[in-house]
Structure 1
Amino acid sequence: MISRKTVSYILKTHQSILQSPFLHPSSLIPQSTRSIHSPSPSLSSLSAISLTRKDWLSPNELVKIFQSLKDPNSTLTLLNQASNRKDFKPTEALYTVIITKLALANNFDGIEQLMETIKAQKNCRLSENFFYNVIKIYGNFAGRINRAIETLFDMPKYGCWPTGKTFNFVLNLLVSTKQFDVVHEVYVGGAKLGIEIDACCLNIMIKGLCGCGDLDGAHQVLDEFPKQGCRPNVRTYSTLMHTLCERGQVGEAFGLFEKMEREGIEPDAITFNILISGLRKQGRVEEGIEILHKMRRKGVDPNPGTYQEVLYGLLGAKKFVEAKGFMGRMILEGLSPSFNSYKLIIQGLCDQNLVEDVDSVLRQMVRHGFVPKMGMWRRILQCTFSGTSRCTVFSLVEIVKN
């Protein structure tokens, strides 16, 4: 019977032999064979070994190999190596990981190459979300708008038809990049893809037409809503009203506002902000304040933009004392006026030599964390020393110290 000591000795000897550099597994492979089966130095060694030496790989294991790949530029090389295996079965998850890796490496040519390969082989069923992601990469990261459009219209060739989600994304992409001449072409092409036009799609068209200054065309699209079985929403009208106000056609904007209310569409804070801004640009400050009261009566809570528009209106009309009072209301509502608002109101109060009001606003400004710049201090000092009490000067000195 072999003793425990003898067994221990045998095991240690066996381990030392296996660890010998002369008996490393790679040294047992003939030189010619080694060059074929050894992974490329650019690949992750673990990934390459898994592909070359494992008898069988499940789709999930293959995805994990690509997820662990540290060098994104090696993705296509590793994919080519994997595709030569008999058990290679590509999945949407695998292609999604590969495309994400290529995007991280800014290898957009590689993505195009892969997409052409997928289209030619047709060996994997892909969902709309997959194409949505590819189109998003082309449009938002690669700046390849044409490829985004081509991918949209190529989707049926992959055995997948787009819905309004992907179609509307491409339309909005074109509007955002101001490619207004292409928007209508893509919109008309939606019929070939079996797209059902919805309110979102029509809103994007209105946004695009307003963006290129075609208000007549935008109104025509508004008339298309009932024909397409759609109902316009608050965004539809807000987009049109914004463009009208930008053109100084505030009366027409209010006409649309009334039409919107007749149709039972409730305005939101953005809608009211657009109208207040339009009135402000025409110097109609009191009407803007009335709109602020109206929105409260309708149960719509003003947002910071609402107050800022009214405040700018008062400042633009040189009603600096009223602006100071309105600024106090903003603060009570928990809102902080902008640095520019403080700058304008202090300059205005200085111009009118209202030193005590300047002192009050300056203290308020400092409490909100804003520090006047050199030009503002110079103007404040000029106003302060132009004939005010010594107490005010000392008060200003205390503010500077603090």
Structure 2
Amino acid sequence: MITPLTTIAAFSRAGRLADASHTLSDALRSIDGPPDASLYNPLIHAFARRGDHRGAVDCYDAMIEARVKPDTHTINILINSSCRNSDFNSALKWFREMRSKNLEPNVVSFNTLIAGFMREKKFEEGISAAREMIQLGFRPSSSTCEILIRGLCRDGRSEEACELVMDFMAMGIVPEDFDSLGLIERLCGEGKVGKGLEIVQLFWEKGRKVGVVTCTTLIEGLRNLGEVEEAFGVMQKMVEKGILPDTITFNCVMDDLCKLGRAADANEFRVFATGKGFDPNGATFSILVRGFGREGMKKEGERVVDEMLDAGFISNIAIYNRLMEDLNSRK
């Protein structure tokens, strides 16, 4: 069934604002009782979407003159329109307008305002808006966290973003579905891997999930700095929590350990990870064989070769001979 609302919305989406306005006028004449804000919202949004902030405000003024009470969505549109025009005084005015009309701001209201502040590098104002949101009893969404972190990191303020996440974590308000990947990538890219490690460890201490890509990004950052022990520690924690790394990352850490003369530890961890569901490949075993060979641990290496035979990783005599050469080499 085609209603005035669906017609107004269709004309508004198509950019036919004059037709949408005429349909709205016709609808107002035919409605018994006070009209709803939903009739005006598509038209206000259409003006805002095409960058005509003045037209959006005029439409809102006409709505008020017609004694139609706006809803939260109405004001959110105008906040967004103001932010798009870098008119933050106006955006704040609309926010206050929402409160004066006994409308409850929602996460969208705050996120729109915060995003506008961060886009214009008004970081203190953006963070203050987030804190006001929390004080009013609203929990930040994943989008809120991403907006704040992305804005700060884009301006080279990754450590400030790190402290903000830690603060939110201490308050217990970081959303369950928030993944710190963007922040970890930025910290590792800037050589601040220690801060990234702090974030991931804090998440684990609080019983929060950390994605596999986030973990492997941190491991790679640690390896690039030569922090093999820390990288191995992160991988151990991953596997303990049932987060299985990709084979390339796993093999790289195994190789690093073997080069440090810790082939036995690497092999023990390989056995543990396999029990947790990790599927080692031929390269994994070859790395361990070379490691045992360098340390003169021939018997241990032979046991790994036997496992390779059982798993079908040695398909011909040439591969077997090469492995035995590695095992007998102390280079």
Instruction: Please indicate, yes or no, whether the TM-score normalized by the shorter chain is above 0.5.
Output: yes
User: 1:185 aligns to what?
Assistant: 22
Following the alignment from structure 1 to structure 2, what is the Cα–Cα distance between the partners of residues 293 and 244?
21
CA pair 378-181 structure 1, distance change in 2 beyond 3 A? same
Assess if the C-alpha contact under 8 Å between 1:385 and 1:393 holds in 2: no
Q: What secondary structure sits across from 1:310 in the alignment?
A: helix
Contact 1:180 1:212 in 2 (8 A): no
The answer to whether the aligner puts 1:333 opposite 2:170 as a matched pair is no
Residue 209 of structure 2 is aligned to residue 368 of structure 1: yes
Give the corresponding residue for 1:254. Answer: 92
Q: Residue 179 of structure 1: CA displacement?
A: 4.3
SS in 2 for 1:333: coil
Q: CA deviation at 1:276?
A: 0.7
- Whole-Å Cα distance in 2 between the matches of residues 301 and 336 of structure 1? 11
Q: 2:49 aligns with which of 206, 211, 218?
A: 211
Change (3 A) 1:329 1:379: closer
2:39 matched to 1:198?
no
> C-alpha separation between the residues in 1 aligned to 2:165 and 2:216?
21
SS across alignment from 2:212: coil
Structure 1: runs of 5 or more not aligned: 1-131, 136-165
* RMSD of equivalent CA atoms: 3.4
Alignment-derived partner of residue 292 in structure 2: none
Pick aligned residue for 1:291 from 120, 125, 129: 129
Between the aligned residues of both structures, percent identity stands at: 20
How far does residue 281 in structure 1 lie from its aligned partner after superposition? Answer: 0.5
Mapped to 1, the partners of 2:216 and 2:210 lie a distance apart of 16
Q: Which runs of 5+ in 2 are unaligned?
A: 239-244, 251-272, 274-331
Q: TM-score, normalised by structure 2?
A: 0.59
- Could you give the per-residue CA deviations for residues 373-395 of structure 1, whole angstroms, max 9, x where no partner exists? 8xx9588536533354x422432
Question: Displacement, 1:305?
Answer: 3.0
Residue 173 of structure 1: aligned partner: 10
Q: Is the 8 A contact 1:318 1:348 kept in 2?
A: no
- Alignment pair present for 1:237 and 2:75: yes
Partner of 2:305: none
Alpha-carbon spacing, 1:349–1:194, altered in 2? closer, same or farther (3 Å): closer
* CA displacement at 1:231 relative to structure 2: 2.2
- Pair 1:358–1:264, CA change in 2 (3 A): closer
In 2, are the aligned partners of 1:199 and 1:232 still within 8 Å (CA)?
yes
**Greater relative contact order, per chain length (Cα 8 Å cut-off, separation 6+):** 2
Alpha-carbon distance between aligned partners in 1 of 2:209 and 2:56, rounded to the nearest angstrom: 43
In the alignment, residue 11 of structure 2 is paired with which amino acid? L
Shift of residue 329 of structure 1?
5.0
Letter in 2 for 1:335: P
Return the alpha-carbon distance in structure 2 between the equivalents of residues 182 and 310 of structure 1: 40
Are the counterparts in 1 of residues 140 and 175 from structure 2 also a CA contact under 8 Å? no
**CA deviation after TM superposition for structure 1 residue 301, in Å:** 4.1
Alignment of 1:86-235 (within 5 A): 132=1, 135=2, 166-190=3-27, 193=30, 197-235=35-73
Larger-Rg structure = 1
Quick one: distance in 2 between partners of 1:362 and 1:301?
21
- Alpha-carbon distance, 1:307 to partner: 3.0
Q: In 2 relative to 1, CA 382–217 (structure 1 residues): closer, same or farther, beyond 3 Å?
A: closer
Structure 1 residue aligned with 2:107: 269
Give the Cα separation in 1 of the matches to 2:216 and 2:136.
43
